Chains A and B, each alone.
Chain A
């Protein structure tokens, strides 16, 4: 039995996802105590894209990426990254968890945390050396946090903590960045700094997938979107996918008309920008 091949009724061989895609998810289902929190989600992230995962609270967005990366167990589904099982390409994937998911009282400095991003490069049974610390410092520089290297992480603001997490991901020097709410609870300056770094990464050909909460900035920051609410509602380019109809289907009609107007305006702005 080779799980990678499915034969359809008409005899075609169905390829599971796109073999070369940085992240291809097929039929992913995750349950917590018998209740599905992610149900049969298919999504293929195009190489070089910046994709937002959008949906209401409890829609399974974080669970989707955590299950895709093997952090939480999945009931069923196939996940490939760059055409391989995720376990084989961990060097090419950087995961940025939700800031609130860790204990910031942990006795570590900013630099200590960024050095964690070099885990695979330092290797088993070895310790971080001067060279690794220099790499980590360069990553802190890129997020404007070099001056905080020696600080205990609990002394940082939320935005600064988020930048430290981004620096750790940069230290991983990955091809695919999977981020869980990188803009949650950060100040405006941090939001600009993060989006600037992400755009630089995209310009270098890297792929970015981020759980995102702020509907108004989806068309501004991202070029692709996955709308989900336990099940996937729609995915594709923002211009054609991020529509009021799809949003209403995702949020079950709970969006206020004013919100939808804002989104329509933002989308229109994007189209004008693209046309000019």
Chain B
């Protein structure tokens, strides 16, 4: 039992949890900026970025994928701004145009290039492949301290750990600037807090988190991780730091509960197959948001109650 758990479940559990946390952290600021759609846009444009990186480098090395996806996110942000200014349309429409176009281009690139031989199929890109993260070298709990066995851990785990640490570091290092530019961009500019630069860095952070989570939960479901835990957390508190703490808790809970329910839930109900872990993680995060909407102590704040005299 313990060997089976270590081999089959431990890594997907940790990866799912870290993916959720890495996305939820920058997601807090996206939700507060009413830019949740940016998470959607970025998680879509990750696909052409990754395919382009593969076509250029010929490998599926993590570094190349990360760079490609981050570059695609930057290109998307620049294009969105360009379309918004030149086309004089609202940001939501500009985002919709750019991210669907780039995503479609990614799908075409996958089909036209001979990438079917490597593990880069559309289904994987959309839904992720959490269940495939098997730790073959694990034999018992002692493997957790065995360097040989640890070296065999799926690389996604270390990658997500690094990215999660990077998200924590970004949030801490840029804390004052993030808060200031999110709450009052004009004031932030007037005191030299560089809100434009911070907004740009936030999008890059979102892109990096999206790429790292991409492997685990796929590009479509990543969006739930950016929005659901922070949105649910906002309903639990009226202060930013506790909100971020709640969002991390909700994210971790979604990751763990989603994986466990996907693997064992159907068995408990008498079905003989498990369901997609990524799908279940997103479902759980959505359910948490629904519960927070119903019983969260600070759900009144959704209207602009303070704006009236």
Contacts and interface: CB of A to CB of B under 8 A. Distances in A.
Interface of A: 33, 66, 69-71, 87, 90, 93, 95, 97, 100-109, 112-113, 116, 119-120, 122, 125, 127, 152-159, 161, 168, 172, 178, 185-187
Contact of A185 (B191, B239, B304, B309): B309
Contact of B176 (A108, A127, A153, A154): A127
Q: How many of chain B's residues touch chain A, expressed as a range?
A: 20 to 34
A107 B191 contact: no
Given A106-B32, A107-B238, A95 B306 contact: no
Given A69-B189, A107-B243, A127-B175, A154 B306 contact: yes
Interface centre among A33, A154, A178 (most CB of B within 10 A): A154
Contact of A116 (B32, B34, B183, B301): B183
Contacts of B192: 87, 90, 120
3 cross-chain pairs, A with B, having the tightest CB-CB distances, nearest first: A104-B306, A95-B190, A154-B306
Contacts of A90: 190-192
Contact of B193 (A107, A119, A127): A119
B309 A116 contact: no
A33 B184 contact: no
Interface in B28-62: 32, 34
A87 B192 CA distance: 8
A71 B186 contact: yes
Contacts of A120: 191-192
13 contacts: A69-B189, A101-B186, A103-B304, A105-B301, A108-B179, A108-B239, A112-B239, A116-B184, A116-B187, A152-B239, A154-B306, A156-B306, A157-B306
Contacts of A153: 306
* Max chain B C-beta neighbours (<10 A), residue from A152, A168, A185, A187: A152
Given A33-B88, A107-B238, A159-B309, A69 B190 contact: yes
A113 B186 CA distance: 14
Given A120-B192, A187-B309, A108 B180 contact: no
A65 to B, nearest CB: 10
B173 interface: yes
B182 A106 contact: yes
A190 to B, nearest CB: 10
A119 B189 CA distance: 12
A81 to B, nearest CB: 11
Q: Give the residue among B186, B237, B303 with the most A Cβ atoms within 10 A.
A: B186
Contacts of B239: 107-109, 112, 152
B292 to A, nearest CB: 14
B195 to A, nearest CB: 9
Given A101-B184, A155-B306, 18 more contacts: A69-B189, A69-B190, A70-B189, A87-B192, A95-B187, A100-B307, A102-B184, A103-B304, A104-B304, A106-B183, A107-B237, A107-B240, A152-B238, A152-B239, A154-B301, A156-B306, A157-B309, A178-B190
A107 B234 contact: yes
B309 A108 contact: no
> B88, B184, B234, B302 — which one has the most chain A CB atoms within 10 A of its CB?
B184
Nearest to A90: B192
B191 A172 contact: yes
Contacts of B190: 69-71, 90, 93, 95, 178
Chain B binding surface, main DSSP class = helix
Interface in B179-220: 179-180, 182-184, 186-187, 189-193
A161 B306 contact: yes
B202 to A, nearest CB: 16
B145 interface: no
B308 interface: yes
B112 interface: no
A108 B183 contact: yes
A153 B179 CA distance: 14
B305 interface: yes
A185 B307 CA distance: 10
Nearest to A187: B309
Contacts of B309: 157-159, 185-187
A161 to B, nearest CB: 6
A103 B307 CA distance: 8
Contacts of B303: 105
B24 to A, nearest CB: 15
Contact of A103 (B179, B183, B189, B237): B183
A168 B190 CA distance: 13
Contacts of B34: 103
B119 to A, nearest CB: 41
Interface in B138-186: 173, 175-176, 179-180, 182-184, 186
A97 B238 CA distance: 23
Contacts of A155: 305-306
